[in-house]
Amino acid sequence: MTSAICIYQPCSHIKMTSIILCVDDDKTVLTALRTLLSNTIGTRCRVEIAESGQEALEICEELAAEGNAPVAVISDFIMPQMRGDELLVRLHQRYPDMVKIMLTGQSDFAGVRRVINEANLYRFIDKPFKNADLVLTAKTAIETRSTEAALRQEIQELKARIAELNAARP
C-alpha cells in the first residue's frame, strides 16, 4: 500500500524521524519525487507515498496512531475522487501543524485560494517543478515544523517555570 524511504538529515533539534507524505495519482510523478528526495536530502526522514486523497488520509491516521504523523504533505491538485485542495483542507482540520505544499500543473484560482485560506498553504509549486526548488521546499518545511515544535515546547517549559516561581512567592 505505501512505501517509505529515507530522505533528510534533520537539524540537531529534531528528536524523531520526520515524515513527508507525497500524494499524486500519477505514478511517474511519485517515482520522480521518491528518486529526487531520496538522492538529495539524506537519511533521517522518510517519505510515504499515496496515490489518492483517501489513501493519504488513511496513511496519516495510521501514522498518527503510532505517534508520528507526517510533518509535511506534498499533494497534487487535480486527482480523481478527491482534489488536492479538499485533501489539504481535511488534513489541516485534523493536523493543523502539518506543513501543506501543493504541486500541480493545473489548478483553478478558487481552489488555490481555498487552500491558502482554509489549510494554511505553505507553498505552491508548479509542474514541471525545478528539482532544486522542490528539495529546498521539502527541507525548509521539515525545519520549519521542527523549529515550531521546539519553540512550543520551550514556551510550555517557561510557562511552567513562571508558575513555579509565582507559587513560591510569599
The count of other CB atoms within 10 Å of the CB of residue 4 is 14
pLDDT in tens, 2-28: 333 333 333 344 445 788 999 999 999
Q: CA–CA separation, 142 vs 21, rounded Å?
A: 12
* CATH number of the CATH domain containing 74: 3.40.50.2300
pLDDT tens by residue, 71-112: 999 999 999 999 999 999 999 999 999 999 999 887 677 878
Least confidently predicted of 39-43, 53-57, 128-132, 161-165: 39-43
Q: State how many domains the chain has.
A: 1
| DSSP for 22-59, written as a single string | EE-S-HHHHHHHHHHHHHHT-SSEEEEEESSHHHHHHH
Predicted TM-score (pTM) of the model is 0.81
Residue 32 structural domain: 4-168
Tell me the C-alpha to C-alpha distance, in Å, between residue 64 and each of 4, 18, 68, 136. Answer: 16, 12, 5, 25
- Helix axis angle for 84-94 and 53-65, nearest 10°, is 20
